[in-house]
Amino acid sequence: AIPTIIALGQRTGLEFVSCDATSPYTQAMNRAILLDAKDGLGYTEIEEKKGEIVAQEYLIERCGCISCDHLRKDLIDHPEVCALGDYGEYWLYRFMFHNHIVYLEMVRNIEKAAREAPDAMLRTVLGTDYGATLRGLDGTEPSQVATGMPRSLLEGLD
């Protein structure tokens, strides 16, 4: 939805486009961290189950965002607050901060791609929904969908 609104919003009369930031927080509440998609126009996630530390380890060992830089410092300065495995308040807020950074970077990438080549960006993001999305926006979505042939395949075979 975000790429479509950013790329096509002006065509529909929108003067200002924004997006809500509850997704990164909701993901954190569900013990998931967001990772940039390879094209920068979306995200994937790593979700932890109770007792797992795969997302926590990712933030410590592989992520270079400012939140994770602070996390590595906290592990040295305050190890009792951010013990691995304990998904308490510290880790919840660290996941939220990290997710918000990834999410905002994704929105910035979408805005940049929409300015430079909106059609190419929409084709990449929407994939097979590209045509239907544009037809719907233009009000030219077919009103009828073919459901079959008007005659039997066996007709004429005597």
pLDDT in tens, 131-144: 888 888 777 766 55
Q: What is the per-residue pLDDT for 29?
A: 96
Say what percent of the chain tops pLDDT 70.
89
Q: What is the per-residue pLDDT for 108?
A: 94
Question: 86 is written with which tokens?
Answer: 């304990």
11-53 pLDDT tens trace? 788 888 777 779 999 999 999 999 999 899 999 999 999 999 9
The residues spanned by each domain of the chain are: 2-138
Q: Is the pTM of this model over 0.85?
A: no
Mean pLDDT of the chain: 88
111-133 pLDDT tens trace? 999 999 999 999 999 999 888 88
CA-to-CA separations, 85 to 52, 108, 113, in angstroms, rounded: 7, 32, 38
Question: 88 is written with which tokens?
Answer: 């308490």
H, E, C per residue of 26-62: HHHHCCEEEEECCCCCCEEEEECCCCCCHHHHHHHHC
